[in-house]
Structure 1
Amino acid sequence: MLIKQRAGEIKDPVHGYIYFNEVERRLIDSRPLQRLRRIKQLAGSELTYPGACHSRFLHSLGVMHLSGLMAERLIELGYIDLEGALKLRLAGLLHDVGHGPFSHVYEDVLYEKQGLTHEDLTAKVVKESELGDLLSDEGYSRDEVADLCTGRLRSPDGRFLNQVVAGRLSPDTMDYILRDSYFAGVGFGQVDVHRLIDSMDVVQGSVAVDYPGGLYVLEAFIIARLELFNAVYFHRTVRAANVMLSRAMSYADEYLGLTEVEDIERLLSMDDSTVKAEILNLEGGGRAKVAKELVLMFEERRLLKSTFEAVVYRGDDPLASQLRRAAVRRRLEEEIGEEADVDPDYVVIDVPSVLSVPVHPKDGAEVLMFRKTANGGREVMKVTDVSPLLSSLAKFTDVVRVYTLSEHREAVAEACRKVFGEGSLYKVSV
C-alpha cells in the first residue's frame, strides 16, 4: 500500500475503494480535475448504451489507482523508489486533464484545426493552471510531471516509464477496458489486470510480459479491447453520434474558436454542456446553421444514417492511410454530395482514428514478451511470434462508413457506389 497517510477514499464501482493522500486530494479538488466530471468518457455512446454516462473524472481516479499498483510492482523489481511511485500515481491522475468537450471527439477536431492532441493540452494545463502551482508547492517539478503524464519523459528511465504511463499496456488502457465495458453493460472487459501487472517486467529498457505465464491474460486483454472497439467504440450508431458532434464542433469552430486554446482559460471553460449551449446559441445561416442543427438532432436522438460501409485491411492497404487524411475525406464528401445532389455538409465519411488491435508491427504497436533462458538471461520476443491467436489479428481492419440525413439515404448510397466503385473501395482515386 503506497498511501501511508490517507486523506480520504472514494468508492469506485470498478476498483472498490480508491485511497488518496493529501497532495492527491488537493489536485482532485482543483478546477481542472473537477471539470472532468462534466466531460463524458464515451461521448455519444450513451445514446446507444444508456449506462455509458461515466466521466473522465472517474476514469482518472481509476488510472491513478492502477498506476499505484503498477508502481508497487516496479518497486518490488527495484526499478523505482517510493517517490517515483507517487509520481506515477500523479501522472495517472492528471493524464486526461487536457481533454476537451466530448473527449476524443473534440480531439479529432483539435488535431484537424490546430495539429494538437489532448496530450499537448494536458501538458499545457499541468504547467500553466493552478495544477502547476499545487505541484510546485509540494516540491514537484511541473515540467517533469507534465512530461511524465503525457509519456514524454526524457530521463534515463524515461523509456520504460513512458511506456508504463502511455504504452499499450498502460493503466489508462486497463482502466478504460474495465470501466467502459462495465458502464456500457457489455461483458468483454472482465480482464484480470492484477495478473497482467504481476506478469510485467522491464527488459532491455522496455515493458514486457512474462512468457508463457502471462500469455493467456495478455491475449485476453488485447481481445477484450478488440471486442470493445467492435461492440462499442466502432458501433454504427455510436459512430453516428460521434460524427455529428465532431462535424458540429468543426463547423462551429470558425464562429466560436473552440480550438483556439492558447489561453488556458478557454479550454478550462469548456465542457460537454457549455459547448452544446454555445453551438445552440449560434445565429445565422451557412455552417453555423448546420452545426446548430446537428447538435439539436443529437439532443433529440435523430441521428445520421449509415449509407455505405466497407472494410479496409490497414495492414496491407495504403488506401486506409489516405482515407485517414481529412483533406481526402472532404474531397470525397464533396464528390458524393455533387453526385447525390445533396449538400456535402451533410455527407460525412467516417474512419476510426484509433487502432483496434494494438499489435501490428508496421504501426510500431508490437507488444513485447520475455522468457527466462537457461543461463539466467531473458530473451525478448514479439507477442505475435508466440501467439498464433494474436498473430492472426495483426492485419486488423478499419471500418469505413458514410453518413447522411435519413431523407438522403438512398441518394447518397447510390452516389457512394458510383464514387467508390460497386462493392469495393479499391477504385477510389486518392
Structure 2
Amino acid sequence: MKRKTLIKDPIYGYIQCNPEEINVIDTEAVQRLRRIRQLAGSEFVYPAGVHTRFEHSLGVMHLSGLMADSLISKGHLDEDAVEIVRVAALLHDVGHGPFSHVFEALLLRHLKKTHEDMTIEVVTQTALKDAVESMGLNAKETALLAVGRLQKKSREFLSQIISSSIDCDKLDYILRDSYHTGGEFASIDVFRLIHTVDLHEGNLAVDLVALPTLESFLVARVELFRSIYFHKASRAAQILLEKSLEKANEEMGILNVTPQEYLSYDDYSMWGLMLQCKGSKSYIERLRIRDLPKVCYEKMFFVKDGVFSTILTKEGVRRQLEEEIANEAGIDVESVYIDVPTLPSVPYHSTIRDEDVNLPIIQRGKNGRRRILRLEDVSNIISVMKGFLNIIRVYTDEVHRETVAKASEKLLGDPFSAKISF
C-alpha cells in the first residue's frame, strides 16, 4: 500500500497525495506556481487575495479525484483512470505566465497562443515530462487532458472533469477565491454536486436532486465575476501590468523563450525584469504606490448575445475608439484604455452560457427509469440569467478624468450607437 502524504488545505481540510504525485508536485514546473498569484491585481482591492496557482492546482487535483471516484462507483470509469485524471488536473495551469491571465493577452497578441497551449508545451517539452512518464502515464495524453482537449471515443467526459460547465477547476476557484477575498458568494456544497454527477451519452450530467446546489454554483460564478474578477480597481491594476509587460516585450523580447526557459518567469522575476526596462518602469512605479487609472465612463447592459463585447475584443476596433476619445479629449491615446469582459486578460466568464443551460439533468422515476432534461427547462433562475453581462469601461489618469468622461459620453452615449466604423 502506497504511503500517503497529507497536505493541509483551508478549503478541504487535507489533500492526500501518493509518492508519485509528490514527485510531480516537486518539479520546477509545479513549484513555480507558488510564485504566480491566482488573482493578479486583486490584492489592490482584497489584501488577502494573494493565494497562488499552486494551492488552486492541488485543489483541482483533489476534486477531480473525487469526481472520478464518483463515476467509478456508478460503473462509468475504471480505477486505473483516476491517476491520469488527478495528475492532469494538477498540471492544468502550469502554462500560465506571470500575473496569470494578464500575461495571456501578450501570448495571444504576439504568438497566437493561450495558456492552455503553453501547458501542453511545458508538460511535453520540459523536465516535467520525465516525472509524468515515470508514473507510467503518456505525457502528451496527460497534457491534452489537462487542458480539456483529450479526444478519446467514449471518454470525452474525462476532459469534462477538468474543463466544462461543472468542471473541478471552476468548483475550486469559486470556493478558493471567495475564501481568500472574504466574499460570501460561494456557500456551495461541492461534494453533493460531485457525488451526484453522472453520465448521459458519454457526457457529464447532474442528478435533479442536486439542482439547488448547481444553481448556487452557477449564480456564484456570475457574482464573483462582478465583485472580484471584473472589479474596476483590480482591472485598473491589470491594465498597468499589461502595459508594462507589453513594453518589456518590445525592449527585451520576453516572449522569445523555450518552454524550459519560460519556467523561469513568475510574478517576482517578471516584476524585477520590468523594473529594469525603461518603458515598463513607470507603470511598475505606479503600482508600487497604488496610483491606478480611474474609471471615467461605465455602461452596463444585459443582453442575450455578446456581439458588442466581442466586437470590442478586436484590438484594432478598440484602439480606434480609444484614439477617437483621446482626440476628442485632446490628450495622448496612451492615457485612454477601454475595457470589456471578453478581453483575454479578464479571467473566467461573466455569463450563464449555452453550454451551461444545455447541461443534461437526470430525473429518476420510482421505477428507476431516467428522464433527461435540460438545465434551462428545470431552472427558472438559470433561464432568466442566461445572456451576456456587457460592461464597457473607459479608464484614464486622474488628471484627465473629467475631459475623458465628456468625450466618452459624447461618443458612447448609447453603446449601440457608438461612433465607430466596424
Q: Distance in 1 between matches of 2:302 and 2:348?
A: 12
The reply on whether 1:222 has 2:218 as its aligned counterpart is yes
The aligned counterpart of 1:56 is 53
Q: Distance in 2 between matches of 1:318 and 1:426?
A: 13
The aligned counterpart of 2:78 is 81
Q: Which runs of 5 or more structure 1 residues have no equivalent in the other structure?
A: none
Asked if structure 1 preserves the Cα contact closer than 8 Å seen for 2:304 and 2:386, the reply is yes
Q: Distance in 1 between matches of 2:243 and 2:416?
A: 23
TM-score norm. by structure 1 comes to: 0.93
Q: Distance in 1 between matches of 2:3 and 2:22?
A: 9
Structure 1 residue 341, shift from structure 2 partner = 1.7
Q: Distance in 2 between matches of 1:386 and 1:268?
A: 46
The aligned counterpart of 1:360 is 353
Structure 1 residue 144, shift from structure 2 partner = 0.9
TM-score norm. by structure 2 comes to: 0.94
Change (3 A) 1:314 1:268: farther
The reply on whether 1:276 has 2:271 as its aligned counterpart is yes
Change (3 A) 1:356 1:153: closer
The farther-off stretch of 104-113 and 194-203 is 104-113
The reply on whether 1:137 has 2:134 as its aligned counterpart is yes
1:107 to 90, 95, 104: 104
1:179-218 matched pairs, under 5 angstroms: 179-211=176-208, 213-218=209-214
Asked if structure 2 preserves the Cα contact closer than 8 Å seen for 1:222 and 1:357, the reply is no
Change (3 A) 1:94 1:47: same
Structure 1 residue 375, shift from structure 2 partner = 7.0
Change (3 A) 1:292 1:314: farther
Partner SS for 2:166: coil
Q: Distance in 1 between matches of 2:172 and 2:359?
A: 18
Equivalent position amino acid for 2:140 in 1: D
Q: Distance in 2 between matches of 1:83 and 1:165?
A: 17
Change (3 A) 1:376 1:426: farther
Equivalent position amino acid for 1:379 in 2: R
Deviations for 1:186-209, whole angstroms, at most 9, x for unmatched residues? 111121000011111010111111
The reply on whether 1:255 has 2:247 as its aligned counterpart is no
Asked if structure 1 preserves the Cα contact closer than 8 Å seen for 2:62 and 2:86, the reply is yes
1:118-197 matched pairs, under 5 angstroms: 118-197=115-194
The reply on whether 1:351 has 2:340 as its aligned counterpart is yes
1:336 to 319, 325, 346: 325
Q: Distance in 1 between matches of 2:36 and 2:287?
A: 16
Q: Distance in 2 between matches of 1:6 and 1:173?
A: 29
Q: Distance in 2 between matches of 1:259 and 1:245?
A: 16
The aligned counterpart of 1:16 is 13
Equivalent position amino acid for 2:291 in 1: R
The farther-off stretch of 394-403 and 96-105 is 394-403
Asked if structure 2 preserves the Cα contact closer than 8 Å seen for 1:201 and 1:208, the reply is yes
The aligned counterpart of 2:241 is 245
Structure 1 residue 307, shift from structure 2 partner = 0.8
Structure 1 residue 319, shift from structure 2 partner = 2.0
Q: Distance in 1 between matches of 2:183 and 2:395?
A: 25
Structure 1 residue 143, shift from structure 2 partner = 0.8
Change (3 A) 1:299 1:387: same
Deviations for 1:223-260, whole angstroms, at most 9, x for unmatched residues? 11111111111111111111211222123222222333
Partner SS for 1:240: helix
Q: Distance in 2 between matches of 1:134 and 1:57?
A: 17
Structure 1 residue 210, shift from structure 2 partner = 1.0
Q: Distance in 1 between matches of 2:55 and 2:9?
A: 8
The aligned counterpart of 1:70 is 67
Structure 1 residue 149, shift from structure 2 partner = 0.7
Change (3 A) 1:194 1:41: same
Structure 1 residue 365, shift from structure 2 partner = 6.8
1:407 to 396, 399, 402: 399
Deviations for 1:10-51, whole angstroms, at most 9, x for unmatched residues? 111111111100111011111001110000000010110000
Asked if structure 2 preserves the Cα contact closer than 8 Å seen for 1:315 and 1:395, the reply is yes
Asked if structure 2 preserves the Cα contact closer than 8 Å seen for 1:370 and 1:378, the reply is yes
Equivalent position amino acid for 2:390 in 1: D
Asked if structure 2 preserves the Cα contact closer than 8 Å seen for 1:27 and 1:131, the reply is yes
The farther-off stretch of 109-118 and 66-75 is 109-118
Deviations for 1:113-170, whole angstroms, at most 9, x for unmatched residues? 2211111000110001111111222211111101111111121133211111111211
Q: Distance in 1 between matches of 2:367 and 2:39?
A: 48
Deviations for 1:266-296, whole angstroms, at most 9, x for unmatched residues? 311111111111111113xxxx2xx321121
Equivalent position amino acid for 2:120 in 1: A
The number of residue pairs the alignment matches comes to 417
Change (3 A) 1:381 1:325: farther
Change (3 A) 1:379 1:402: same
The aligned counterpart of 1:381 is 373
Q: Distance in 2 between matches of 1:205 and 1:214?
A: 20
Partner SS for 1:311: strand
Partner SS for 1:301: coil
Asked if structure 1 preserves the Cα contact closer than 8 Å seen for 2:326 and 2:333, the reply is yes
Change (3 A) 1:365 1:40: farther
Structure 1 residue 366, shift from structure 2 partner = 3.6
Deviations for 1:306-363, whole angstroms, at most 9, x for unmatched residues? 11111243523522210121221111112211221221122111112356455332x7
Asked if structure 1 preserves the Cα contact closer than 8 Å seen for 2:326 and 2:332, the reply is yes
Asked if structure 1 preserves the Cα contact closer than 8 Å seen for 2:357 and 2:374, the reply is no
- Higher RCO (C-alpha 8 Å, min separation 6): 2
